[in-house]
Amino acid sequence: MPELPEVETTRRRLRPLVLGRILFQVVHQDPVRYRHTERAEGRRVEEVQRRGKFLLLSLSGGLEMVLHLGMTGGFRLEETPHTRARFLLEGGALYFHDPRRFGRIWVVERGDYREIPLLSRLGPEPLSPEFSFVPFSQALRESRKPLKALLLEQRLAAGVGNIYADEALFRAGLSPFRRGKEVGEEEARRLFRALREVLSEAVALGGSTLSDRTYQQPDGLPGGYQERHAVYGRAGLPCLGAATPWKGGW
């Protein structure tokens, strides 16, 4: 599933293609997955933002288009055999490509996320100034859940999934099976720092394109961070690089 770096890369590539343009129509045949898209017709795209793994397109008239890429969703400049929705814009078209059909689109009143409850429950953005060590450390100490499960919940840090949870935990020298309440202050600080480092590096390299190549940038280019994966997808292989040793093993 595309995570924060992949969705942020998509946002950055998408923004100059749609910003300020009128969205004439979203053409699709799946009103269950792509909800209320007719409300976007004739609206101008005023901004393209991201929250966790969601893309947020601010539309004129106080509306907002919320997109979740699911497992395999992404935008393309040309139609593909797996095009699920066509965005007809002033000056051209974009195509939502989604082989496994888990992607979702909603058009809502701006900020009204009653149909998308996860969006209202997201924690802080880990690359933003709002991501602070003290509440992060406190949330760890108050939980009996394993560290990886805590990261995947999206409340400690929005947008982290399997790839970057694994990479950050390895860099911090912490087992994914350690419980939050077992983590000391210095270990929590290492994890806090590792999350920011790993995500920043992945964004700079355009995210991770895995062997199935389902994630690509809109222009078809792959990400580059997969070349730096130290542990993700390396079952049975040695880890790459060095990590701070932890006590108790995996």
Measured CA to CA, the distance from residue 96 to residue 75 in angstroms comes to 5
> How many C-beta atoms lie closer than 10 Å to residue 186's C-beta?
8
> How many C-beta atoms lie closer than 10 Å to residue 227's C-beta?
10
Out of 2, 5, 126, 218, the active site residue is 2
| Cα three-residue angle 143-207-22, rounded to 5 degrees | 105
Out of 3, 6, 64, 187, the active site residue is 3
Question: Is there a catalytic annotation at residue 2?
Answer: yes
| Cα three-residue angle 200-76-101, rounded to 5 degrees | 90
Question: Is there a catalytic annotation at residue 3?
Answer: yes
- Check if the beta carbon of residue 76 is closer than 8 Å to that of residue 95: yes
Measured CA to CA, the distance from residue 35 to residue 107 in angstroms comes to 6
Residue with structure tokens 């293609």?
A: 17
Backbone φ/ψ region at 97: left (φ over 0), alpha (ψ -120 to 50), beta: beta
Three-class secondary structure of residue 56 per DSSP: strand
Three-class secondary structure of residue 13 per DSSP: helix
Measured CA to CA, the distance from residue 115 to residue 221 in angstroms comes to 33
Measured CA to CA, the distance from residue 122 to residue 137 in angstroms comes to 17
Phi, psi of 85 (to 5 degrees): -150, 140
Residues belonging to the active site? 2-3
